[in-house]
Structure 1
Amino acid sequence: MNFQYQPGNSFLHSVDPLNKVAWMVCISILAFIYEDTISHVILFAAVMLIAVVLAKLSVAFIFRGIWMLAVFSLGFFVLQVIFVPGKEILFSIGSLSIFKESVDFATAITFRIITVFLTSMVFVVTTDPRDLVLSLTQHLKIPYRIAYSLSIALRFIPTLESEAKVIEAAQVIRGVGKQKGLIHKIANFKRFTMPLLMSSIRRVHMTAITMEARGYGAYGTRTYTRELKVTAPSIVFSLASAAITVSLIAAKFI
C-alpha cells in the first residue's frame, strides 16, 4: 500500500498541500529543463534526500513504490540506447554500435521519469486527501465539487490496490493465477483485470449515488468543520524551492 496517505509527524506532513504542489512543480520544471545525466542524477538524489529526511520515508518503502516503474524504465533505457543515434561510439556488439550520446540521453530520460514519479509518490504519501480538498476550496476558492473529485481520485488508488490483492489471493486459493507460460499469463491477466474493472465501475456508481442522495453540490458554498492553516515553515519551504529553481534556470541560460 505505497500509494496512499501514510499518517506521520514529518516536516512534509506538516506542509499544506498547495505548498507541496509548488514544490512538485519546481521539481518537474527542473526535470524537464535539464537534459544531461549528471543534473538528473543530482536531482534524483535531492528528491531521495527530501523523501528520507523531510518525509521520513524508509529507503525500502521508497523502492517498493518505484520498483515497477524502474523495471519499465530499464526497458525504455535499452530501447533508447539502441535506437537513438549518436557520433561517439562507446563500444560495438557485432553490427550494433552503442553511442555515448545515446547512453547519456537514455540515462537522463530514465532518471527524469523516476524523479517525477518519486516526487508524486512523496506528495501522495504525505498529503491527507481531506487537507487537499480544504486547501483547494478555502485558499484557491475552487468549487468543492471539483476539489472533491480530485480527493476521490487519490482515495481510489489505494482502494484499487487493496482490491487487486484480494482478487489475486482469491484466484490463488481457487488454483488459478499462478500457471506458467505466455498463454496462461494472458488468461491470468484477463481473469485479474475484469473483476478489478467491474469492481471499480461498481464503486464509482455507488459513490455517485451516495453524493446525489446526500445533496452534494446542491448549494454553491458549504461550511467546514475546520479551517486549514498555512504555516510559516510551509511558506519558507515553497519559497526556497522556487528560489532554487529560478537560480538553477538562470545558471543554465545566462
Structure 2
Amino acid sequence: MSEILQYIHKDGLFHRMHPGTKIFLILVIGVLTILTLDIPLLCLILLAVLLLALAGKVLREVLQQMALILAMSVIFILITLITMPEGEVLGYLIPGGFLPVTTGALYAGVLLTLRFAILIISFQVFVITTQPRDLVNTLEKAGVPIDYNLMFLIALRFIPTLQIEAKRIHEAQLARGYAPGTGFVGRIRSVAPVMVPLVSNALSRATVLGLTIDMRGYRTRARTPFREERMNLLDRAVIVILATVLVAFLAGTILPHFGYALG
C-alpha cells in the first residue's frame, strides 16, 4: 500500500503538466466544490476528479486511501444527523424516537461528505503527481516566500515518513508480544503505545533537519533551479478551459444573487 501524499513517478498525463497548471486546476476545483450546493453537480465533479486520477495513472493509489475517506464521511454524516434536526423526519437512529434522521441533516451530511472527498482526492492527485522541487520552484516564482515553501515541502515530506515510522513501531511492538486486542477497542488501545515513540522520533528528526538546513547555508546565497519547467500548448489550453468554466460558473451562481439583491 502506497504512503499518503508520497510522490509517485509515472508517465501519466497529469505528471507531464506544468505545476502552475495543476495548482490552477486544484483552485478551480476547490472554488466549484465550495460554492456548489447541488449534490448531482458535486457527484459530477467527483467523477471528473477520479477521471483525472485515471488519466494520471494514479487511480489505484487514490482508491487505496478510500477507507480513510469513507470513515471520515460516516463521521461527518453522523455529526450532521445529530446536530442539525431540521426538515422532515425520515426515521430515528435509536429506536424509541431518539436522534431523528431529517431531510435537512441528511442533505447537509451528504453535501459535506462530497465536498470533503473531492478536496482530499484532488489534492492527493496533485501532490502524488508533482515533484516537490518543481512545486517549490513554481510557488517561489509566483511570489510565495521561500520560508513558506520550505515549511510546506517539509510538511509534505514528513507525512509519508511518519506513516512508515508508525507502521514500523506497531510491527515492532507486535513482534515483542504486545497484544492490544481486536476490533475497534483494540485499535484505540494500540494508538497510545505508537504515538509516544512516534512523537519522540519526529522531534529528533526535526532537530536534525534544522541543523542540516543551517549547515547547508540556507539563506546565504541565491538559488538556481536544476531544471526549469515551462508551460507547453497543453498547459495553456487547460488554463483557458478552466478559466472559461470558472467564469461561466461564477456568472451563473453569483451574479443572479447580486441582481436579486439590487432589485
* TM-score, normalisation: structure 2: 0.86
Counterpart Cα distance in 2 of 1:251 and 1:237: 21
Counterpart Cα distance in 1 of 2:22 and 2:84: 35
Kept after mapping to 1: 8 A contact 2:4/2:159: no
Residue of structure 2 in register with 1:45 after alignment: 47
Kept after mapping to 2: 8 A contact 1:35/1:105: no
Is residue 2:94 matched to residue 1:129?
no
Query: Higher mean Cα deviation, 152-161 or 232-241?
Result: 232-241
Counterpart Cα distance in 1 of 2:54 and 2:183: 40
1:125 Cα deviation after fit: 0.8
Residue of structure 2 in register with 1:224 after alignment: 225
Is residue 2:238 matched to residue 1:243?
no
Q: Which runs of 5+ in 2 are unaligned?
A: 257-263
**Structure 2 residue identity aligned to 1:222:** R
Counterpart Cα distance in 2 of 1:143 and 1:86: 45
Is residue 2:120 matched to residue 1:117?
yes
* TM-score, normalisation: structure 1: 0.89
Kept after mapping to 1: 8 A contact 2:19/2:134: yes
Deviations 1:32-56 (A, max 9, x none): 1112322222221121111112x12
Kept after mapping to 1: 8 A contact 2:81/2:101: yes
Query: Higher mean Cα deviation, 196-205 or 175-184?
Result: 175-184
Counterpart Cα distance in 1 of 2:184 and 2:143: 52
Query: Higher mean Cα deviation, 30-39 or 221-230?
Result: 221-230
Residue of structure 2 in register with 1:67 after alignment: 67
Kept after mapping to 1: 8 A contact 2:21/2:239: yes
Residue of structure 1 in register with 2:33 after alignment: 31
1:222 Cα deviation after fit: 2.1
Kept after mapping to 2: 8 A contact 1:51/1:122: yes
CA separation of 1:202/1:173 partners in 2, compared to 1, >3 Å: closer, same or farther?
same
CA separation of 1:225/1:187 partners in 2, compared to 1, >3 Å: closer, same or farther?
same
Q: What is the total number of aligned residue pairs between the two structures?
A: 250
Kept after mapping to 1: 8 A contact 2:9/2:129: yes
Counterpart Cα distance in 2 of 1:212 and 1:2: 28
Once the two structures are superposed, the pairs formed by residues 181-196 of structure 1 within 5 Å of their partners are 186-196=188-198
Query: Higher mean Cα deviation, 25-34 or 176-185?
Result: 176-185
1:64 Cα deviation after fit: 1.5
Counterpart Cα distance in 2 of 1:209 and 1:243: 47
Counterpart Cα distance in 2 of 1:202 and 1:169: 21
Counterpart Cα distance in 1 of 2:185 and 2:121: 34
Kept after mapping to 1: 8 A contact 2:76/2:112: no
Equivalent in 14, 32, 53 of residue 16 of structure 2: 14
Equivalent in 150, 161, 174 of residue 176 of structure 2: 174
Residue of structure 1 in register with 2:163 after alignment: 161
1:182 Cα deviation after fit: 7.7
1:102 Cα deviation after fit: 2.0
**Structure 2 residue identity aligned to 1:41:** C
Counterpart Cα distance in 1 of 2:144 and 2:102: 50
Counterpart Cα distance in 1 of 2:237 and 2:63: 29
Q: Percent of counterpart pairs with the same letter? A: 27
**Structure 2 residue identity aligned to 1:114:** A
SS of alignment partner, residue 121 of structure 1: helix
Residue of structure 2 in register with 1:5 after alignment: 7
CA RMSD of aligned residues (A): 2.2
**Structure 2 residue identity aligned to 1:239:** V
Q: Which runs of 5+ in 1 are unaligned?
A: none
SS of alignment partner, residue 245 of structure 1: helix
Query: Higher mean Cα deviation, 32-41 or 182-191?
Result: 182-191
